[in-house]
Amino acid sequence: MGDEIKEKIERLRKEIERHNYLYYVKSEPEISDYEFDRLLKELEKLETEHPEYYSPYSPTQRVGSDISKDLPPVTHKIPMLSLSNTYNRDELYEFDKRVKSGLPESEKVEYVTELKIDGLSIEALYRNGLIVQASTRGDGTVGEDITNNAKTIRALPLTVDYKKIPKFDLSEFYVRGEVFINKKDFEALNKERSERGEKLFANPRNSASGSLKLQDPKIVSKRKLDIFVYYLLSDNVEFESQYENLKILDELGFKVNPNYRLNKSIDEVLEYCNYWEEKRNELPYEIDGVVIKVNSIRQQNVLGNVAKSPRWAVAYKFKAEQAETVIEKITWQVGRTGVVTPVAELKPVFLMGSTISRATLHNFDEIKRKDIREGDFVIIEKGGDVIPKVVRVVGEKRPTGSQPTESPERCPVCGEPLFNPADEVGIYCENSKCPARIKGSITHFSSRQAMDIEGLGEAIVDVLVDKNLLTDYADIYELRNKEEDLIALERFGKKSVKNLFAAIERSKEQPFEKVLFALGIRFVGSGAAKKLARAFKNIDNLMAASNEEVESVPDIGPSISGSLKRFFSLNQNIEIIERLKKYGLNFELAEEELGNALAGKTFVLTGTLPNLTREKAKEIIEKNGGKVTGSVSKKTNFILAGESPGSKLEKGKALGVPVITEDDLMSMISEK
């Protein structure tokens, strides 16, 4: 009986994965959604009744239960290089000229063109046919582990028949692809968020990127992420061409964008680019250009790389699409730091697949430079960041009696006087109690990089502020006294409130540098906060410091010292700091943070350490007086290497830099 059940489970798994492939990869479903769900439920029932046959690679496990608070770093075995960009015919021909000059004159060059999907690049590792890890591109050398979230992407197979192509040893290989959200799914996602009163995503790319980094795969699974895979890498396989690489990926069952093409010349490449620039809006997903690659792998190797980009590939970026409309009104919005930004409220116009009704005007200097006024006909476009902006005014259509736009003197929200620093184009509301600033400042305060209060995201903060349960970020530490009010809210329950209280209590353990960053002082980012915390040791010393003393700290300039002086001169800010002190937050450097065992030593990190994340290792080194840099040089004292180190290790060895392990590092600290 056991063998029969096992065989039935395996048969169902294979059948469901086949239908997944037909639906999500080939778009050729053979059965209805109802029939598919019936198969899935049958498999779930059998697996529940027979847990001895559990498999993490079953299609029922696409939404895993493992929730990781951190996304551990993953070092890419081969760096994920970025592409240099071209924007017109001449630059494309110049690229062709550079390629040919790097190869023997007698050699012909073919190019593969692929659509440049506007999404997020990831890499997935398969071993013996099973997906074992997935990571983001990160900085190209080190990304973040997103394995659980990647498994929710139905078009990314959990298992592959790695023996399907006998001539290749595919027992271990990596695939790289672009994760995205279809236009229709993006619109549906934003509609749901609107109905729940949540902030809308700006564009499909941002929603895909944000989704992949969420901590709960169950939420990710609802985002309908998709993927096109474009590259296979393996130490065991040598392909002849990029074209062959794509064919193999398709044969293995990966989802490859069908619109790639082999081109005999750069003229054919340009023809391909022009065609898709005209047709891009007909696609169900966003593209922002074309990727051009030398087809021959041998020629790619000859051409090599320069800096962080390959010499054998380039991106052709499409021109931003434009449309004409009318500015019906110019409004001013207030951000977290108090910066007041002008926004053009437009007569709705359709552009690049969506209706645009607002566009950024950046700042008042930009308004003056372009002489933008209410009632003007303007040309707007979506640039590379997909945020609409006003390009120029159609002067000949300006209405009679038009008046120049004036800069506001008082905050449009709270009515307090605005501040315009002499050396800046921005204008600011400095009232920390300004309603427009409160939500942003609380969200920043509770963010992972600051106080790391899980459960106090943007949507929850909006609700709590609207219900007057939070009026500033110090109020977070009084929420425990409002438990019944919280439980009564629609999106809360006893368990979620209990978890929130626990996260708030844990945040009191955050070090001084995190607390300083959390205050949201203009220009004081996480790096500056760390330097200031180490230089002044506590908040009182920092508050009493002169501009000259602040600027004596390395990499701290007049902008930061001036901002600190203004922040500490406002009574409401001092009152909040005193309240936070009372609640037990760390406003001084802890004794263990003042070590000097590694004073004057510079470290470079590479590979995956056995016990420490990259961020934690960096924190330990810096707490003990050392410094961590991103690249190896003659000034590097040690390379801290873990499993699967990158090219930094080889460069370090060539320069004679000592290589140490995690154990060596801990010994160095304990010896002092």
CATH of 512-592, one of 3.40.50.720, 1.10.150.20, 3.40.50.2300, 3.30.2290.10: 1.10.150.20
Question: DSSP letter at 199?
Answer: P
What does the pLDDT read at residue 66?
Answer: 39
Give the homologous superfamily in CATH for domain 595-671.
BRCT domain (3.40.50.10190)
The crossing angle, in degrees rounded to 10, of helices 266-279 and 89-101 is 150
Q: What length does the chain have?
A: 672
Q: Which residue has the higher pLDDT, 432 or 371?
A: 371
Q: What is the mean pLDDT of residues 505-515?
A: 94
- Collapsing DSSP states into helix, strand and coil, what is residue 324? strand
- Burial label for 396, CB within 10 Å (0-12, 13-18, 19+), is exposed
pLDDT bracket for residue 435 (50, 70, 90): confident
What kind and span of H or E run contains 6? helix 2-20
CB 48 within 8 A of CB 109: no
Tell me which residues are annotated as active site. Answer: 116
CB 16 within 8 A of CB 43: yes
CATH no., domain 2-61: 1.10.287.610
- Output the pTM of the full model: 0.60
Is the pLDDT reported for residue 343 higher than 90? yes
104-163 pLDDT, tens digit each? 999 999 999 999 998 899 999 999 999 999 999 887 888 888 998 999 999 999 999 999
What are phi and psi for residue 296, nearest 5 degrees? -70, 125
- Determine the Cα–Cα distance for residues 589 and 514; give it in Å rounded to an integer: 11
Q: What is the mean pLDDT of residues 7-17?
A: 87
Is the pLDDT reported for residue 71 higher than 70? no
What are phi and psi for residue 468, nearest 5 degrees? 60, 25
Is the pLDDT reported for residue 25 higher than 80? no
pLDDT bracket for residue 385 (50, 70, 90): very low
Do the two domains 85-317 and 435-507 of this chain adopt the same fold? no
- Determine the Cα–Cα distance for residues 659 and 657; give it in Å rounded to an integer: 6
Q: What is the mean pLDDT of residues 370-388?
A: 82
**Which amino acid, 490?**
E
- CATH fold for domain 85-317: D-amino Acid Aminotransferase; Chain A, domain 1 (3.30.470)
Is the pLDDT reported for residue 491 higher than 80? no
Q: What is the mean pLDDT of residues 398-409?
A: 93
Q: Which residues pair with 377 in a beta bridge?
A: 326
Is the pLDDT reported for residue 637 higher than 60? yes
Q: What is the mean pLDDT of residues 363-378?
A: 93
Task: Tell the residue number behind the tokens 């959390």, with chain if given.
Answer: 518
What does the pLDDT read at residue 622?
Answer: 79
pLDDT bracket for residue 225 (50, 70, 90): very high
pLDDT bracket for residue 69 (50, 70, 90): very low
What does the pLDDT read at residue 30?
Answer: 80
535-544 pLDDT, tens digit each? 888 999 999 9
CATH architecture of the domain with range 435-507? Orthogonal Bundle (1.10)
- Per DSSP, the chain holds a count of helices (H) and strands (E) of 24, 24
Task: Tell the residue number behind the tokens 């263990």, with chain if given.
Answer: 592
Is the pLDDT reported for residue 360 higher than 70? yes
Q: What is the mean pLDDT of residues 497-501?
A: 92
- Determine the Cα–Cα distance for residues 406 and 468; give it in Å rounded to an integer: 34
Q: What is the mean pLDDT of residues 375-401?
A: 85
Average pLDDT score over the chain:
87
Is the pLDDT reported for residue 229 higher than 90? yes
92-106 pLDDT, tens digit each? 999 999 999 999 999
The angle subtended at Cα 47 by Cα 45 and Cα 53, nearest 5°, is 160
CB 564 within 8 A of CB 521: yes
Q: Which of 100-109, 218-227, 236-245 is least confident?
A: 218-227
What does the pLDDT read at residue 198?
Answer: 64
Is the pLDDT reported for residue 249 higher than 80? yes
What does the pLDDT read at residue 353?
Answer: 62
The residues spanned by each domain of the chain are 2-61, 85-317, 322-397, 435-507, 512-592, 595-671
Q: Which of 72-76, 143-147, 238-242, 449-453 is least confident?
A: 72-76
Whole-angstrom CA distances from 623 to 72, 173, 513 are: 21, 38, 11
Is the pLDDT reported for residue 348 higher than 50? yes
Whole-angstrom CA distances from 419 to 172, 340, 344, 501 are: 59, 10, 22, 37
Domain 322-397 has CATH 1.10.10.10: no
DSSP helix, strand, coil percent of the chain (3-state; round to 5): 40, 20, 40
Q: What is the mean pLDDT of residues 46-68?
A: 71
